[in-house]
Chains A and B, each alone.
Chain A
Amino acid sequence: MAYQKIVSSGAVYKGKTGMWLYIFHRITGVALFGYLILHIISTALILLGPEVYEGAEAIYKNFYFRVAEIGLMGAILAHAINGLRIIAVDLWKRGSEFQKQLNIISLVLFIGIFIPSTYKMTTSYFDLCLEKSKPGTTLTDCMIRPLPDWAS
């Protein structure tokens, strides 16, 4: 008689906030490690001189990459704040007693930093885009074109 290791049920365990934060911390962690590798490659191009480096950087200057950049900012911020929460639970003697409060503080902290940063990164993109582009460029142009006209 074989014991079945996983009896597939398709049902999700109703885990606590901590379980979802654990999963979230893993996903952002692995994603940030991948980004770190790409970041080392793109920065290494600087050894090949200004043309190569700036040519490569130009790819990142459309609005789609700005959205991804905001996602990156959010991932770093969330991983950092959740990391501080984990440190508090692990190393502070009374951390696990106050874990619910720590969850709320982390969320408030994240929103409090993420929203203004997103605002700054979005408005600054359009301001700079209009300033650098040819006269007559609209916000929609800035938003949809794959390559800005001043780059490269």
Chain B
Amino acid sequence: MDIELKILRYDPENDRKGHWEFYKVEADPDERILDLLHKVKWFEDGTLSFRRSCAHGVCGSDAMVINGENMLACQVLVKEVSNPIKIEPVRGLPVVKDLIVDMEPFMDSYKKVMPYLINDKDPGDRERLQSQEDVEKFEDTTKCILCAACTTSCPVFWTADSYIGPAAIVNAHRFVFDSRDEGSKQRLEILKDVNGAFRCRTAFNCTSACPKGIQVTKAIEDVKRETLLNN
């Protein structure tokens, strides 16, 4: 079938704003949006720039706005979206070129919540054990691939980029509710800042944007209640 692609391009050397460019490609309904982008880049217009690495929904490189919603280009099939397909870079982060955004501000927020296990105690000669119930508390948020689909779907983040964003809170949640971790208090301290979790206004855009199906808003709500009750 013939697919019409409408891509928001931005060339930092010549553009002051983005401009739309149109492409026509031949595609199978079972092909991914990423395949369409490859066809354009390889056979039609080599200047088109986008990020992708594993191309199988694991590395989190190719989050973009597809037909008005954040998705991973490598995870969405042609038959799942309506034709013509409109593709834009994610919102709220500075655009480097075409569909590539500068992920540094996003990663800075991620680093702020100390996304690693903090435990000064000597575990002894074996691993730290935990029960099935203990794992269930944070299992959902371990699935994050840091693609920024949630953070860049958040209306609060669009207007106030100082907001730490859903992805950072999700990754804080992963350790705050981990029974082996002892840095929860520090993380909650960081998240109760003016730019922290209480900036969330429960729009739920993040939950539906997450390509891994993480209940992002629920995780943020857990963090808010935890801060309220254990402060």
Contacts and interface: CB of A to CB of B under 8 A. Distances in A.
30 contacts: A1-B96, A3-B94, A4-B10, A4-B17, A5-B95, A7-B10, A7-B95, A9-B20, A13-B153, A13-B155, A13-B205, A15-B205, A16-B204, A16-B207, A18-B202, A18-B205, A19-B203, A22-B155, A22-B202, A23-B155, A89-B202, A89-B221, A91-B225, A95-B221, A96-B202, A96-B204, A96-B207, A96-B217, A97-B215, A99-B204
Contact of B203 (A5, A9, A11, A22): A22
Contacts of B60: none
Interface string B195-213: 0000001111101100000
A14 B18 CA distance: 19
A93 B225 contact: yes
Nearest to A23: B155
A12 interface: yes
Contacts of B205: 13, 15-16, 18-19
Contact of B91 (A13, A14, A18, A86): A13
Given A22-B155, A90-B224, A3 B96 contact: yes
A8 interface: yes
Interface of A: 1-5, 7-9, 11-19, 21-23, 25, 86, 89-91, 93, 95-97, 99
B94 A96 contact: no
Nearest to A4: B95
Contacts of B88: 7, 9, 11
B84 interface: no
Given A14-B69, A16-B205, A96-B204, 8 more contacts: A2-B12, A5-B94, A7-B17, A9-B88, A13-B69, A16-B203, A22-B155, A25-B201
